[in-house]
Amino acid sequence: MRLRNKPWAAEKIANSPNIVPPNPSEYRGEWAAYFNHNGPIHVEVGTGKGKFLTEMAQAYPDVCFIGIEKFDSVIVSAIERAEKANLPNLVFLNEDVQELRSFFAEGEIDQLYLNFSDPWPKVRHAKRRLTHEGFLSMYQEVLKPKGEVHFKTDNQGLFEYSLESFSKYGLKLQNISLDLHNSDISFNVMTEYEEKFSERGNRIYRCEASFPS
Ligand code: SAM
Query: Could you state, in order of their start, the residue ranges of all structural domains in the chain?
Result: 34-210
**Third-level CATH fold of 34-210:** Rossmann fold (3.40.50)
Cβ neighbours of residue 16 closer than 8 Å, sequence gap 6 or more: 79, 83
118 tagged catalytic = yes
> Each residue of 100-123: pLDDT tens digit?
999 999 999 999 999 999 999 999
- Rounded distance, CA 7 to CA 73, Å? 8
**Ligand 1 lined by 68 (C-beta under 6 Å):** yes
Is the model's pLDDT at 173 over the cut of 60?
A: yes
As for the ipTM of the complex, it is 0.99
**Ligand 1 lined by 204 (C-beta under 6 Å):** no
> Residue 86 class from Cβ within 10 Å (0-12 exposed, 13-18 middle, 19+ buried)?
exposed
Q: How many angstroms is it from 116 CA to the middle of ligand 1?
A: 8
- Rounded distance, CA 1 to CA 196, Å? 12
> Each residue of 123-138: pLDDT tens digit?
999 999 999 999 999 9
- Rounded distance, CA 29 to CA 163, Å? 30
